[in-house]
Amino acid sequence: MYDFAYHKPSSVADAVKLLAADPDARAISGGMTLLPALKLRLNKPTAVVDLSGIAELRGVKREGGTIVVGALTKHYEVATSAEIKAAIPALAWMASTIGDTQVRNRGTMGGSVANNDPSADYPAALLALGATIQTDKRKIGADDFFQGMFATALDTGEIVTAIHIPVPEKAGYAKMKNPASRYSMAGVFVARGPAGVRVGVNGAGANGAFRATAMEAALAANWSPDAVASIKMDPAMMNGDIHGSAEYRAHLVTVMAKRAVANAG
Amino acid sequence: MNVVAPFEGIGASVRRKEDLRFLSGRGQYTDDINRPGQTHAFILRSPHAHAEIRSIDVTAAKAMPGVLAVFTGADMAGIGGLPCGWQIHNKDGSPMAEPKHPVLAEGKVRHVGDPVAVVVAETKAQARDAGEAIVVDYNPLPAAATMDQALKAGAPQVHEGAPGNLCYDWHIGDKAALDAAFAKAHKVVSFETTNNRLVPNAMEPRAAIGEFDPQSGDYTLYTTSQNPHVIRLLMGAFVLNIPEAKLRVVAPDVGGGFGSKIYHYAEEAIVTWASARVKRPIKWTAERTESFMSDAHGRDHVSRAELALDADGKILGLKVHTLANMGAYLSTFAPCVPTYLYATLLAGVYTTPVIYAEVKAVFTNTVPVDAYRGAGRPEATYLLERLMDVAAAEIGMDRVEFRRKNFIPVDAFPYQTPVALQYDSGNYFATLDAALQAADWKGFEARRAAAKAKGKLRGIGISTYLEACGIAPSAVVGSLGARAGLYEVGTIRVHPTGSVTVLTGTHSHGQGHETTLAQLVADRLGVPLANIDIVHGDTAKVPFGMGTYGSRSLAVGGSAMFKAMDKIIAKGKRIAAHLMEASVEDVEFDRGTFRVAGTDKTKSLTDISLAAYVPHNYPIEEIEPGLEETAFYDPKNFTYPGGCHIAEVEIDPDTGKVSMVNFTAVDDVGRVINPMIVEGQVQGGVAQGIGQALLESAIYDAQGQLISGSMMDYTMPRADDLAPVSVATHTTLCTHNPLGVKGCGEVGAIGSPPAVINAVVDALKDYGVRHIEMPATPAKIWNIVNGGRKMAAE
C-alpha cells in the first residue's frame, strides 16, 4: 500500500472534522473492502480515519418497534445479538452467512452499508425492511440511501452512525453464493411489516441492490412461495460474468425469492 | 515388566514427525529466512499478452528512495534463457520448436505477467514504488490467447521460430494397424472434450533469496523448489554459468508444490544474478496475483477420441487427437506432459490392442503450462473414462460391465500395452469390486429415488484408472527426449551411537517424507523413529537428487535408501563377523540385530556402529572405519498405481449447484508404508480432482487477459465443496523395486475428475445429456436443465 496518515478519533464529531478537513481522506470501519484495495494499491487516500475507537457507534438496542444497530456493529455481533435474533431472525442469519469467520469479526454493518457493494448482503435486507440510515447529520430512508452500485446518498465526509430497522412481522432471506468469491450472486430478502411487503435483491442486479416491486405486489396479495414462482426478472437488468449469465441470475432471483418466502414462514 | 515399543515400521500409521513445527507456526519457509543485509526485489511484469517493447526508461526509478539497482533484459543479455528439460521430436523426426525463454523480456513480451524489469531496494515497498516509476513504451500486438486463435491462418505469431505457433506435431502408435482395426469395427464412438486449464495455487507462494559471497565467490539460492539439485543444474549450467561447486541451492520447508515448484523460474535466476551485482542478498516473494500470472499453469488440452468396438462390446482400437497448450514459453518439463506422460497412458486398464495418438503442442500468449498434480495422466484418464461411459451408453451396456469386459486380466501381467508401457502388476477387478461394495453401488437407485422425492437429481459415477509413476529408467527416458537422468540418491549415515541421518535427494513439501522415509529405516534397521532424521532440500548437504514429482519419492527415493541400507547391512555383517569371530556368511541381520545363525551370539547395530567409529578391535586392513553408505537407484520401469473411484453427487435443478454427497476411492498404490499418510494424500488429490471437475478454470479473454486472475474469480475448492472421502487400498506389489511400492501422491487427482463428471452426467440423464465440460459449474448445469425443460415443453 501507499503511505497515508492515520487518525483514530474517539468521537463522531472529531471524525467528521478530520474528514471535512481533507477531501482525500477515507473513513475506515472494519476495513474489509478498503484494506484489500489499499494493499493492491487500487486506492491512494491521503489519510485513513479509523472509526473503531468511537464507542458511541457500537451496540444493538431495541427502541419500541425498532432495532437500532450502531454502525460499528460487527457481522458476528449482528448474527449473535439476542435482540436481533428475537426480532429479525432472518437478519441475524444473513449476518452469519457473510464472508468467513475472520470477516464477520472485522466487518461492520455501517461499513457495508456505506460501501454499497452490489454483492454485499445488507443493502437488500435494509431495502426490504424499510430501514432508515442515520448519519452524523441526518436520517435517510433505505430507498433514498442506496443509489446503485457503490453509490449512496452520503455526502463526502458524511459518516453512517446507526441503522434503524422497523421490526417486521415476517422476514426471510436466501442467497446463491458466487462459487469463487462466496459473495452473493443472487440474494433475496423478503419482509412484511410496518413498511409493507417489500423485496430486496442483492448480487444479481446490473446496478446494485434493488427492490423487486412485481414480487412485492404478488406477495402483498398472497404471501407464499408460489406467489413469486412465476415472476420472471428481466435479464436486461441483471449482471452477467464468467460465473453466470444475466439470464441465469434473473432465474436465480426468482428461485431465491421463493426460498426466502419459505424461510420467512 | 516388558515394555513393548510401539511398532513404527512399514504399515504403521505413525503421526507425522513434521506436523508439530508446521501446526505451531515454526516451519522455516523461504520467506521466513532473512539474511544479513538483505534487500528486496520487485518484478515489473507485462500488462499485455503480446507487445513489442519500444523502450524502457528506468531513470526515475533508479532515483527513488532506497533503490540499489534496476535491471532490464538488456542488462541480462549475456545470460542464457531458461532451459527446457525435455525435447520432443516431430512425426518427421525433426526436433520441436524451442524458442528462447529470456529471464527478463528481450524486445517483446509474450504473456500477461512476463517479467520485464527488476528493482532491488532496501524495502519491499520501496522496490514496488520504484517499479511503478519505470516507464515502458509498449506497442501492443494482437494476441494468440487461445489455441483456437493461435492455430488460425494468419494468427499472431508468439515466436518467430515457431511457424503457425506449433511447438511440435508428435504421434505414437501404429496408424496402419489402427485403420485396420477401425475397418472391422461394429461401432465407432466419438467424443470430444476440453481438459480445463488450472492454476496450481500452492498455499505458499513462490519465493527466492539470492546471496553472493564476494569473499569466496559462492552463490546461495534459497527457493521454493521441489528439486533443488535440478535447479542448481539448470540455473548453474544453462542460465548463469556458475559451477555446481560454487552454487548452493536450498529448498527449505515448502508449502505445497503440486508440480508448480518443479520448474526453474526466472525469479530464481534474477535474484541470484543480481545479488552479485548489488553484493547484498535479495529476497523476492510472490504476491498471490503474481502467482496467478507467473506460476506454470496445468492441463489445457482439447481432444477428440474415437473408440472402435466389436459387436460384443470389446474394444478394438482407440484413436486420439489432442491439442496441448504450452503457453508462451516452454516451461521446464512441459513438452513431455502431453506426450510421454499422456498418450502412453491411453490404454488405461483395458486390453485395447491398437492405439494411435497424435498430439500438437501449441504456443499461445498465456502463462506457460506444465505438469500439475498428475501431469498427463489426469488428461488421459479423463478422456478415457469419460469415453468409456459415453461408449457404454451408446451400445446400451452397463458401464461397469463394459469396463469389466475390457479389463486387463489378472493373469496377464506383465502386460505390454500398444503405447510403449509395460505394466508389472495390478488387479483392476479387485479394486473395482471393493469400491462398488464400499460405495453401495447396488443401493444407489433407492438413493436416487429418495433424492428425486426431495426434488434433487442424484447421480453416481465411476472411474477405473491407471497411472504411471516414478518416471524411469534413465536410459529409456533419455531416448524419449529427457535431458536428465531420473534416478534417485539416498545416503544412510549411522552415527557412532546408532542414531541415523538420512540424506535424500527427494523433497518433502507436504508429503510427510520426514515420517515415511524414517519408517523405512526404523523397519529395516530397527532404529527408533525418534532417532532417525531425514535431511532433504539442500545441495550442500545431500549428495545429489532429482527431487519430488510424479509420485516418485518412495518408489525411487525410498528404493535408493533401501539400496544404501543393503550396503550398511553388508558392511555391518563384516564388522559383526569380526567381533563375534564368525564367518560373514553365517551372520544374519534382522531389525537392528546381527546374529550368528543358529546361535544366541548377537551384536546390536549400536555395537557395530560404535566399533566402526571407535575401531580399536576392528579389521582395519580390510574394512574402512565409519558406517555411512550412499546409493544411486535407477528404476527398471515406471510403477503403475491404479484403482477405482466412485463419486456420488446431488444436483439442485433450480440453481444447478452440484453437491458432492460421497466419494469412494479404492487404490492400489503398492505396499503401504503409512496408511494415514496415504489416506491424506488420496484425500488431498481427490480434493484437487473435485476442484477441477466442478470448480476451477483459468479463463483468458480474447486479448489474453487472465479473467480468473484472483481468488475472487478462480474457484479453489473449500471444505464444504467436498464430500466425505472414503479411502481404502488393495495392494498388488510393484515387482521391480525392492519396496514393492508404487506411489500415492497423484492417484486422487487422476482418478477422481472423470468419476465426478460421470456422476453429474448420470444425474442429468433424464435431460438427454451426453457430456458436460469441466468445470461443471451451477450456471453450466442450469443451462442444460433449463434447455432440457424448454425442449420438454416444446
- Residue-wise pLDDT for B628-644, tens only, equals 999 999 999 999 999 99
Backbone phi, psi, residue B269, to 5° = -70, -40
- Per the structure, the count of domains in chain A is 2
Q: How many CA atoms lie within 13 A of B744 on its CB side?
A: 33
pLDDT in tens, B720-769: 999 899 999 999 999 999 999 999 999 999 999 999 999 999 999 999 99
pLDDT in tens, B4-30: 567 899 999 999 999 999 999 999 999
Strands B135-140 and B315-327: unpaired
Mutate to test the interface with A, among B777, B785, B790 (most CBs of A within 10 A): B777
Nearest Cα residue to B241 out of B217, B260, B206: B217
B713·A251 Cβ contact <8 A: no
- Taking residues A86-101, report their average pLDDT: 97
> What is the signed CA dihedral for B54, B60, B61, B64, rounded to 10 degrees?
180
Does A61 fall in a domain? Answer: no
pLDDT at residue A37 is higher than 70: yes
* Domain B143-199+297-409 indexed as CATH 3.40.50.12500: no
Please tell me whether the interface predicted TM-score (ipTM) of this complex is above 0.90: yes
Tell me the percentage of chain A whose pLDDT exceeds 70.
100
Q: A245: nearest CA in chain B? A: B779
**DSSP one-letter string for B165-204:** GEEEEEEEE-HHHHHHHHHT-SEEEEEEEEEEEE----SS
Class of domain B487-633: alpha beta
Residue B34 binned pLDDT confidence (cut-offs 50, 70, 90): very high
d(CA B436, CA A23): 67
Which positions 64-123 of A are in contact with B (Cβ < 8 Å)? Answer: none
d(CA B757, CA B771): 8
Place of cell 469441466: B774
Nearest Cα residue to B199 out of B380, B381, B363, B327: B327
Does A34 fall in a domain? Answer: yes
- Which cell numbers in the block locate residue B171? 504421434
3-state secondary structure of B373: coil
pLDDT at residue B692 is higher than 70: yes
Residue B793 has what pLDDT? 38
3-state secondary structure of B147: helix
Tell me the percentage of chain B whose pLDDT exceeds 70.
98
- Taking residues B779-793, report their average pLDDT: 72
Those residues whose C-beta lies under 8 Å from the C-beta of residue A62, and which sit 6 or more positions away, are: A68, A83, A87, A167
Q: Chain A contacts of B657, Cβ < 8 Å?
A: 176
The helix (run of H) or strand (run of E) holding residue B249 is: strand B247-250
Cα B340 to Cα B165, B551, B614, B636: the distances in Å are: 21, 16, 51, 17
Domains B33-141+201-294 and B487-633 share a fold: no
Residue A29 has what pLDDT? 96
Residue B786 binned pLDDT confidence (cut-offs 50, 70, 90): confident
Closest Cβ–Cβ partner in B654, B695, B779 for A244: B779
Q: Could you tell me if B416 lies within 8 Å of chain A, comparing CB atoms?
A: no
In the sheet that B593-596 helps form, which strands lie side by side, from edge to edge? B587-590, B593-596, B602-604
CA of A202 to nearest chain B CA: how many angstroms apart?
16
d(CA B623, CA B573): 11
Q: Residue B10, by phi and psi: left (phi above 0), alpha (psi -120 to 50) or beta?
A: beta
B712·A181 Cβ contact <8 A: yes
Average pLDDT, chain B: 96
B786·A251 Cβ contact <8 A: yes
Mutate to test the interface with A, among B42, B287, B700, B712 (most CBs of A within 10 A): B712
Spatial contact of A47 and A7, defined as CB atoms under 8 Å apart: yes
Residue B4 has what pLDDT? 56
> What is the signed CA dihedral for A107, A110, A116, A118, rounded to 10 degrees?
40
d(CA B386, CA B192): 10
Helix, strand, coil shares of chain B, percent, nearest 5, are: 30, 25, 45
Residue B787 has what pLDDT? 77
Residue A234 binned pLDDT confidence (cut-offs 50, 70, 90): very high
Provide the domain limits for residue A245: 170-264
Q: Could you tell me if B778 lies within 8 Å of chain A, comparing CB atoms?
A: yes
Amino acid occupying residue A217: A
Residue A9 binned pLDDT confidence (cut-offs 50, 70, 90): very high
Q: Chain B contacts of A242, Cβ < 8 Å?
A: 699, 707-708, 713
3-state secondary structure of B335: helix
Spatial contact of A56 and A14, defined as CB atoms under 8 Å apart: no
Q: Chain A contacts of B789, Cβ < 8 Å?
A: none
Residue B621 has what pLDDT? 94
Q: Give me the CATH topology for the region B423-467+640-794.
A: Aldehyde Oxidoreductase; domain 4 (3.30.365)
Residue A34 binned pLDDT confidence (cut-offs 50, 70, 90): very high
Strands B282-285 and B39-45: parallel
Those residues whose C-beta lies under 8 Å from the C-beta of residue A221, and which sit 6 or more positions away, are: A227
| DSSP-derived secondary structure letter, A236 | G
Those residues whose C-beta lies under 8 Å from the C-beta of residue B233, and which sit 6 or more positions away, are: B244, B484
3-state secondary structure of B496: coil
Q: Chain B contacts of A179, Cβ < 8 Å?
A: 695, 715, 777-778
The domains of chain B are located at 33-141+201-294, 143-199+297-409, 423-467+640-794, 487-633
Whichever domain contains A39, its CATH number is 3.30.43.10
d(CA B643, CA B466): 7
Residue A139 binned pLDDT confidence (cut-offs 50, 70, 90): very high
- Taking residues A136-156, report their average pLDDT: 97
Q: Could you tell me if A207 lies within 8 Å of chain B, comparing CB atoms?
A: no
d(CA B667, CA B369): 28
CA of B28 to nearest chain A CA: how many angstroms apart?
25
| DSSP-derived secondary structure letter, A47 | E
d(CA A220, CA A215): 8
Q: Chain A contacts of B778, Cβ < 8 Å?
A: 176, 179, 244, 248
pLDDT at residue B592 is higher than 70: yes
Residue B448 binned pLDDT confidence (cut-offs 50, 70, 90): very high
- Which cell numbers in the block locate residue B501? 541421518
Tell me the percentage of chain B whose pLDDT exceeds 90.
96
Residue B3 binned pLDDT confidence (cut-offs 50, 70, 90): low
Pick the CATH number of B33-141+201-294 from 3.10.310.30, 3.30.200.20, 3.30.930.10, 3.90.1170.50: 3.90.1170.50
Residue B792 has what pLDDT? 39
- Taking residues B188-205, report their average pLDDT: 97
Cα A100 to Cα A97, A182, A256, B459, B695: the distances in Å are: 8, 9, 21, 30, 19
Those residues whose C-beta lies under 8 Å from the C-beta of residue B317, and which sit 6 or more positions away, are: B177, B178, B181, B182, B185, B307, B308, B352, B353, B354, B355, B356
- Taking residues A107-133, report their average pLDDT: 97
Cross-strand partners of A200:
A189, A211
- Taking residues B259-264, report their average pLDDT: 97
The helix (run of H) or strand (run of E) holding residue A67 is: strand A66-70
d(CA B100, CA B524): 48
Q: Could you tell me if A176 lies within 8 Å of chain B, comparing CB atoms?
A: yes
- Taking residues B410-416, report their average pLDDT: 97
A179·B654 Cβ contact <8 A: no
Q: Could you tell me if B708 lies within 8 Å of chain A, comparing CB atoms?
A: yes
The helix (run of H) or strand (run of E) holding residue B727 is: strand B725-729
Strands B725-729 and B658-668: parallel
pLDDT at residue B347 is higher than 80: yes
3-state secondary structure of B605: helix
Does A9 fall in a domain? Answer: yes
Residue B77 has what pLDDT? 86
d(CA B382, CA B320): 13
Q: Residue A39, by phi and psi: left (phi above 0), alpha (psi -120 to 50) or beta?
A: alpha
pLDDT in tens, B128-163: 999 999 999 999 999 999 999 999 999 999 999 999
